[in-house]
Amino acid sequence: MKPEKDNFFARVYEVVQLIPKGRVTSYGAIARYLGSKGSARMVGWALTQLPVQPNIIPAQRVVNRNGLLSGKHHFGLEGQMKSLLESEGVSVENDMVQDFEKLFWDPEKELGLV
């Protein structure tokens, strides 16, 4: 039995959905939680396949380590990502998440280490 998904991507989606509102995380944190700490790029790539139309995954809560909205360009319209984050209570300025350290959500830590 495999309680976990075999697909790397599927796991990324689940973790992203687990991100609490008003919080943000980095690709590396998710990748590390998945077991592949070096696959931060894969996390972003997984989100690239994300269906933009049905906003089922809060990808806007996932930013790079600098708190920069690196994937904002991949959203339907530019500024969409910023709007979504601000709508959740996250202050975004110049495509950068304010108080990123404070809003940072570490799956390994918040989910209670596995």
Contacts with DNA by CB under 7 A lie at 7-9, 26-28, 36, 38-45, 47-50, 59-60, 62, 64-66, 70-71, 73-75, 81
70: its two tokens: 């690196």
Residue number, 36 or 110, with CB nearest to DNA: 36
Residue number, 38 or 112, with CB nearest to DNA: 38
Residue number, 7 or 91, with CB nearest to DNA: 7
CA 45 centroid distance within chain: 11
Q: What is the smallest separation between the CB atom of 24 and DNA, expressed in angstroms?
A: 11
Residue number, 59 or 92, with CB nearest to DNA: 59
85: its two tokens: 């984050």
Contact 71, 41 (CB under 8 A): no
Q: What is the smallest separation between the CB atom of 28 and DNA, expressed in angstroms?
A: 3
> CA angle, 108 as apex, 102 and 109 as ends, to 5°?
50
Specify the DSSP element, H or E, that contains 26. strand 25-26
Q: What is the smallest separation between the CB atom of 75 and DNA, expressed in angstroms?
A: 7
Distance, in Å, from the CA atom of 34 to the CA atom of 66, rounded to the nearest integer, reads 20
